[in-house]
Amino acid sequence: MDHVTEHHPSHGLDGFDRVILVHGFGAGPDEHWFPWLARSVPHLEALELPSPQAPRASIWVPMIAERIGSSPDSLAGLAIVTHSLGGLAALRAIERVISSSPDHRDEQHLAAFIAVAPFAQHLPPTGEAELDHFLITGLSDFVKGADPRELRPFLGATTVIHSDNDPLVPQEASLDVAAALGADVVAVPGAGHFLASDGITSLPQIVTALRNQATP
């Protein structure tokens, strides 16, 4: 990490009241580029979701929704950053929050939504036994009924960040989400699935997207 990024990453990010990070399968807030983001973004709330090796939509989605909050203005001033399965789980949670206050539905929207390697469909086998077991037994509960297009008005400024050599989430799946959300698209060549094992321990493209989307 260079000297400038370490000491000045938060400039221009004060337009957000809160920033929530939602990790994906097999991860936690201390892995990959998440600690770097916690150092780089003011008041970041990095969620730690249970049983990341065997995620359950019935547990993850309500937990994320609870962290977002159920008041009519819960989404105002909030940016959500997600990775992989965390993107789909966060979308389902936002859907849940909006449904909980239908009288204020038209007034609600995030300040920003940034999804790294997102998908909203079933994925092909990966060759990793634990992950493939989840894809067969658990992913359908996250995907079932998901329609990112319906959430587009509620997400504020959206950005999808994807790689051209992701071995787990085909880039077409991420681009489908981007199209559904009307998102800005940022390609990071050679970044794999944006894991530490891919060499990704920082992701300045997120800070750039947040800075571009922050309220002046």
E strand or H helix at 161: strand 157-163
What pLDDT is attached to residue 12?
Answer: 53
The reported pTM is 0.92
Euclidean distance between the first and the last CA atom of the chain, given in angstroms as a whole number? 27
What pLDDT is attached to residue 15?
Answer: 77
What pLDDT is attached to residue 142?
Answer: 98
E strand or H helix at 118: none
Q: Where are the alpha helices (DSSP H) in 23-168?
A: 34-40, 57-68, 85-100, 129-137, 139-143, 148-151
What pLDDT is attached to residue 5?
Answer: 33
Q: One digit per residue, pLDDT tens: the chain, 216 residues?
A: 333 333 344 445 667 899 999 999 999 999 999 999 999 998 899 999 999 999 999 999 999 999 999 887 889 899 999 999 999 999 999 999 998 876 666 678 899 999 999 999 999 999 999 999 999 999 999 999 899 999 999 999 999 999 999 999 999 999 999 999 999 999 999 999 999 999 999 999 999 999 988 655
Q: What is the CATH number of the domain that holds 34?
A: 3.40.50.1820
What pLDDT is attached to residue 42?
Answer: 83
Separation in Å, CA 54 to CA 28, 48, 57, 215: 13, 14, 10, 37
Range of the domain at 91: 3-213
Q: d(Cα 2, Cα 23) in Å, to the nearest integer?
A: 25
Structure tokens belonging to residue 188: 């990071």
DSSP bridge partners of 113: 80, 158
How many domains would you assign to the chain?
Answer: 1
Q: d(Cα 42, Cα 174) in Å, to the nearest integer?
A: 27
Residues 6 or more apart whose CB falls under 8 angstroms from that of 75 comprise: 68, 94, 97, 108, 109, 110, 111, 154, 156
Contact 26, 55 (CB under 8 A): no
What pLDDT is attached to residue 104?
Answer: 60
